[in-house]
Amino acid sequence: MANRLRTALVQMRSGINPAQNIKDANAMIREAAQKGAQLVCTPENTHLIQTDRHLYLQAINEEKNEPALNAFMETARDTGVFLLVGSLAIKVSAQQAANRSFLINPAGEIIARYDKIHLFDVNINTRESWCESDHIQPGNRAVTARIGSATLGLSICYDLRFAALYRALAQAGANVLAVPAAFTRITGRKHWQVLLRARAIECGAFVLAPAQGGVHEDGRRTWGHSMVIDPWGEVIAKLDDDEPGVLMADLDLAKCETARRRIPALAHDRGFTLS
């Protein structure tokens, strides 16, 4: 049916070896395609998780020379799926990268790019702090793309905490919101599901959240628990752990129209002053 979209989320535990990460991701993408997925989504940092800034910058490439991107374009073409590569680190200067999502069509062509807008500069506790702006160049453009009857709104991880981005995507027509992520274990346990459900409810949209999970080679710990949420805020599919795997979900896009008709909050903006 035109209003249905069979999706798959790939949960990973990416490490410091890009070639191995590409191999692992491709195996799960092909598994999802064999199960009938039309859209397959991988998590943030699909091809590399490397905390050491120097080694990170050594391992990445400009977009035109990135082996991971070429490999995933070939996989999309071979399997005939739309493939959202949650993000790759793409070198944009000697000292900076873009954290960039790529949407690839079944012909193996890139049809959308999105650079993460909100950077993860936080002090979670005395033992864990992050400063993505040390080596990541933020994006400044929100992006949507069509997949049949679906309009996909792109985002990455920490963007999830900025509701205005998702409202803008939904008001631009997005009925499916992608949130590929590498949430920390501490914040994931407390905030992951509640924030995902909030974005789905506010926007009357499906939310697809493929995640990194587990203890990575560089010592980083991520939450996993990939999930799919419907426009009413119900979790319709989830992985209950941080192990690598494939999560399948069928989206009935008519549910977005129903939710937005019942609660048309996207049309109820009003100006206000703050005093």
Decide if 161 is inside a domain.
yes
The pTM (predicted TM-score) of the whole model is: 0.97
Is 44 one of the annotated active-site residues of the chain? yes
Residue (of 195, 189, 244, 193) closest to 215 by Cα position: 244
- Calpha distance 198→173 (Å, rounded): 18
Structural domain count of the chain: 1
Decide if 198 is inside a domain.
yes
pLDDT bin (cut points 50, 70, 90) of residue 16 is very high
Decide if 271 is inside a domain.
no
Structure tokens at 170: 């939904």
Provide the domain limits for residue 141. Answer: 4-265
Indicate which residue of 41, 116, 132, 255 is catalytic. 116
Q: What is the largest CA-CA distance in the chain?
A: 58
49 contacts 217 by C-beta, under 8 angstroms = yes
The pLDDT tens digits of the residues spanning 223-236 come to 999 999 999 999 99
Indicate which residue of 41, 44, 66, 203 is catalytic. 44
- Calpha distance 159→239 (Å, rounded): 22
Is 31 one of the annotated active-site residues of the chain? no
Decide if 44 is inside a domain.
yes
Q: Which residues pair with 123 in a beta bridge?
A: 129
The pLDDT tens digits of the residues spanning 39-97 come to 999 999 999 999 999 999 999 999 999 999 999 999 999 999 999 999 999 999 999 99
- Calpha distance 192→223 (Å, rounded): 9
- Calpha distance 128→126 (Å, rounded): 6
88 contacts 74 by C-beta, under 8 angstroms = no
Structure tokens at 257: 């129209």
pLDDT bin (cut points 50, 70, 90) of residue 128 is confident
What pLDDT is stored for residue 250 in this prediction?
98
Is 66 one of the annotated active-site residues of the chain? no
Q: Which CATH number is 28's domain given?
A: 3.60.110.10
